[in-house]
Amino acid sequence: MTLNIYNTLSGKKEVFTPIEENKVKMYVCGMTVYDYCHIGHARVLVGFDVITNYLRHLNYEVTYIRNITDVDDKIFARAAENGESYQALTQRFIDAMHEDEAALSVMSPDQEPRATAYMSQIVGMIQVLIDKGYAYAASNGDVYYSISAFETYGELSNKKIEDLIAGASERVAVNEVKRDPTDFTLWKAAKDGEAYWESPWGNGRPGWHIECSAMSTCCLGNTFDIHGGGPDLKFPHHENEIAQSEGATGQKYVNYWMHAGAVRVNKEKMSKSLGNFFTIREVLEKYPAEVVRYFLVSSHYRSQVDYSEDSLLEAQASLDRFYQSLRGLDLSYEGAADLDQTYVERFHKAMDDDFNTPEALAVMFDLVKELNVSKKESNERVRKLAITLSTLGDVLGVLQADPEQYFKQGGQNDGLSEGDIEALIVARREARETKNWAESDRIRDELLEQGITLDDGREGTTWRRS
């Protein structure tokens, strides 16, 4: 089996061939840290976490870089609005981002470079672009990239320079500062009272696009395997990264470009202006983190995903089914011999097809069907199927909790504590022992109203949050 990846640059699936055998160098555009991460960010975080997991599952040595943009107009504006330093603002939201990642079982990247730590490299790359004729310093202290100097500009996004010129000329007048309306900023002269860094062109700060070119090439080299990001970054951000990086180094920048799909709400793009904007922590107040992760994994990373209450409830029902099949089983893993290779191979075939997680989950559902049937026949077969299910789930970052604990978890705002629930179950058992069926039913109904479902079995009563 061969891993195939959809390459945005070519517009088709390609056999993945790393630059160095058994090694993968990957850079993913991270967050601009001026606010809490939203569910769209979670889409990127979880999507590339699964991709990294699977590459490592295939025994690739992965170097995963995800940057932090900690200098930006929005950051400065928010800090000024709050009456705090931009450093205090960015650190607070970096900490919050790490909390959200941990909740969603997203592994930390191998390196997490911050733009403010790479100012000398950024300034150096800008100077190289000026020296090579790709950029120019304007009279006001700004520095611009001249896209007409880069012959293949628009190749990633399939945009033509002449169309960009026509569109930009309606919005931006050419003047003594900017030679062409499509030229983009590499360095911004500092405004009064704004944080700044020194440069040959005066005090200022970098444009957003140059930050990623400098950080990625410093961390991974002039050419690396995979560059990823959200759906809105293809143009202009990634297009500009290519122009900057290849202009500066004279080498191909990235071999495989990968872009996650957008998150929509009611068939519309999620945005604050439409009032359909949800932060990760807002969602986690209502739903367990693994349910949110499963919801994101259940769609192909390139597809658009519709966020809704119904979608999360469907994700929870699917996870319930998986965990119910694992309840009370021995999941101790001792080696590859514990795994059913037929299901492993089918899972690999799905994931090798551009990380097709929906098809991989379909394989796992087939496994659950056989597991539930086998419980009536063979204990050894049950154990092998259960361990296989748990192992494959680990690649997707799910099914790693103790099944009993999974059914007892809920959103962060769930009312009844475990102690409260257990006490009511004891009271209900005592009522049943005295044949007080009315009281027994009342307690069951009370728990059900609180989202607690009871399951009576031979070994007693178990419970789960609905």
Summarize pLDDT for 352-405 with one digit per residue, the tens: 999 999 999 999 999 999 999 998 887 889 999 999 999 999 999 999 999 998
In this predicted structure, the answer to whether residue 458 has a pLDDT above a threshold of 90 is: no
Q: Which two tokens stand for residue 117?
A: 């730590």
As a whole-number percent, the residues of the chain with pLDDT over 90 amount to: 74
Q: Which two tokens stand for residue 214?
A: 């400098």
Question: What pairing do the DSSP bridges indicate for beta strands 263-265 and 268-269?
Answer: antiparallel
In this predicted structure, the answer to whether residue 169 has a pLDDT above a threshold of 50 is: no
Question: What pairing do the DSSP bridges indicate for beta strands 224-229 and 23-32?
Answer: parallel
List phi, psi (to 5°) of 325. -70, -20
Where is average pLDDT lowest: 74-78, 182-186, 409-413, 444-448? 409-413
CA 257 to each of CA 2, 13, 204, 253, 416: distance values in angstroms, whole numbers, following the listed order: 18, 11, 31, 10, 47
Query: Tokens 């993968």 identify what position?
Result: 24
CA 168 to each of CA 93, 161, 180: distance values in angstroms, whole numbers, following the listed order: 34, 10, 9
List phi, psi (to 5°) of 14. -130, 150
Does residue 213 or residue 334 have the better pLDDT? Answer: 213
